[in-house]
């Protein structure tokens, strides 16, 4: 009887050890997103195959379209996103996991700010306003909209798919393109909004 108990115990311990040794794709994505929210670059580096996994926000927050003076507030609000994982799919050494993001509707906010700005900028230009004065109007518009959004709740929801590959037996997130659905969902449709506005100016 004792031998049977020992064998059962050994099997149970081995199963537990092997189970803990390899995180699932969903576990890896969860670790990545939690570390991303905390801007924990060391943890991100352990589960991400790219070189700038914790710096993706710089593509938006530090862009020319976004005033430097309020990029910090914008980044903090983005990092407040909520998420849920779903639909894990494994195919050999590759996998995908869907991430449902909930955040602020930054895309609509951006379009509203740009529309208001151009309405005011036209009048200011004709009245001889300086470049600094016009830039300050843009900053004030962004600041006002962000302050309004902070008083509300997350009103944007979208799903992005994250791809993973096995590296040395462990799942790692594939490098994320800076124009991916992931970044667009993370920023509440901001990338799509910037693209739409840019395309409208490039129309022939």
Query: How far is CA 103 from each of CA 19, 83, 98, 135, 202, rounded to the nearest angstrom?
Result: 34, 9, 16, 27, 30
Q: How confident is the model at residue 25, as a pLDDT?
A: 96
| SS3 (DSSP) at 158 | strand
Q: What is the pLDDT of residues 94-153, one digit of tens each?
A: 999 999 999 999 999 999 998 888 888 777 777 777 778 878 888 889 889 999 998 899
- Determine which of 5-14, 72-81, 83-92 has the lowest per-residue pLDDT on average: 5-14
Check residue 200 and report its DSSP letter.
H
More confident residue, 100 or 200: 100
pLDDT at 12 over 80: no
Q: How confident is the model at residue 8, as a pLDDT?
A: 33
| CA of residue 183 relative to chain centroid, distance | 5
Query: In the predicted model, what is the mean pLDDT of residues 150-164?
Result: 94
pLDDT at 79 over 80: yes
Q: How confident is the model at residue 71, as a pLDDT?
A: 78
Contact indicator for 65, 137 with CB cutoff of 8 Å: no
Check residue 51 and report its DSSP letter.
S
Q: How confident is the model at residue 185, as a pLDDT?
A: 95
Longest dimension (CA), the chain: 96
pLDDT at 73 over 80: yes
Give the pLDDT band of residue 72 (cuts 50, 70, 90): confident
Structural domain boundaries in the chain = 21-201
Query: In the predicted model, what is the mean pLDDT of residues 43-54?
Result: 76
């Amino acid at each position: 009887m004792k031998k049977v108990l020992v064998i059962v115990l050994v099997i149970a311990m081995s199963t537990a050890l092997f189970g803990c040794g390899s995180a699932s794709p969903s576990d890896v994505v969860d670790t990545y997103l939690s570390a991303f929210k905390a801007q924990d670059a060391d943890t991100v580096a352990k589960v991400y195959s790219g070189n700038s996994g914790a710096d993706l926000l710089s593509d938006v927050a530090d862009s020319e379209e976004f005033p430097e003076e309020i990029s910090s507030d914008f980044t903090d609000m983005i990092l407040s996103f909520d998420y849920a994982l779903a639909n894990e799919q494994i195919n050999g050494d590759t996998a995908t996991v869907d991430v449902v993001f909930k955040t602020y509707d930054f895309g609509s906010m951006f379009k509203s700010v740009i529309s208001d700005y151009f309405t005011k900028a036209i009048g200011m230009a004709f009245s001889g306003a300086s470049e600094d004065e016009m830039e300050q109007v843009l900053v004030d518009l962004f600041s006002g909209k962000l302050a309004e959004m902070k008083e509300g709740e997350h009103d944007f929801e979208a799903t992005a798919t994250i791809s993973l590959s096995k590296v040395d037996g462990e799942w790692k997130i594939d490098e994320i393109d800076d124009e991916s659905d992931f970044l667009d969902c993370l920023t509440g449709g901001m990338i799509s909004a910037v693209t739409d506005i840019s395309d409208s100016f490039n129309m022939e």
